[in-house]
Amino acid sequence: MSELATTVREALAALAASDRNLTRFGAAHHGYLLAAPLECAPKVPEGPPDGVTDGLPADLATFVTVIGSGGAGPGYGWFPIAQAVRHLVEPPPQVTAYTRALPICHLGCGYAAVVPLDGAARGEVWIDARAIGLCAPHYGTFTGFYLAWIDSLAHGSWPADHIPPGMCALAAALSGYFAMVETRLGLASGSLAGDPLREALGDLGPGAIQIAAESSPVLFDKGDPVDPCLTCARLIDALAADGLPRDVVGRGRPARPGR
């Protein structure tokens, strides 16, 4: 086993030991368990006749044959690589840096981290959140992306946010709910606070809000229930002190590459 593989597995073991109740973002889904490496990197299905047919980017191919092939990882866990290669996706029309990408994990709210397999962006990690008009590079390599996730958790930090605050459905749903409560109580718009706010939040029981996938051909069908993204999870965490249940969002369906 390589030095990097040993380091990764020791880091995951330490993270698991410090989070036995699996309360960190995404931990309940992956349990800090990393699938065993494969004997060889899976073959990437051929693209269009004039497309590039190269296999996985070099660092990702090394990772899956030396370190692990799925499981513990950013978002809700790294998709099993042998399944993910059967779900390659095209970018939205405005993106020209690649033509096909490998989905590597669900970031929540139907958003994906993907690794372009061709073009100028080959080997990078991109955030595909096309439902809110975002599809952009995030990290230079898969290995760097993965190690940055481990490093943030090891230092007791939230992983890096991928989505700007206020752009997701949860923020809109809560804003609409607060407006309804303010109208019922005869309060001015935006003035809900103190005991009325705590009471309103407490009235939202477990699963009271369900996030549905929008335009997300990467991982889900439109309307599929999805788990919240990190930005939404941080909003829930911030409001939990005022009584919002941490499980206010109903459990989502697994993404296609993870089913």
Cβ neighbours for 133, distance < 8 A, ≥ 6 positions apart: none
Instruction: Look up tokens 């981290």; give the residue.
Output: 113
In this structure, the number of other CB atoms found within 10 A of the CB of residue 93 comes to: 8
The whole-angstrom separation of Cα 76 and Cα 79 is 9
Q: Confirm if 101 and 94 have CB atoms less than 8 A apart.
A: no
Output the pTM of the full model: 0.91
Domain boundaries in the chain?
3-154, 169-258
**What percentage of the chain has pLDDT greater than the value 90?**
77
Least confident interval from 3-17, 37-51, 65-79, 99-113? 37-51
Q: What is the mean pLDDT of residues 35-42?
A: 92
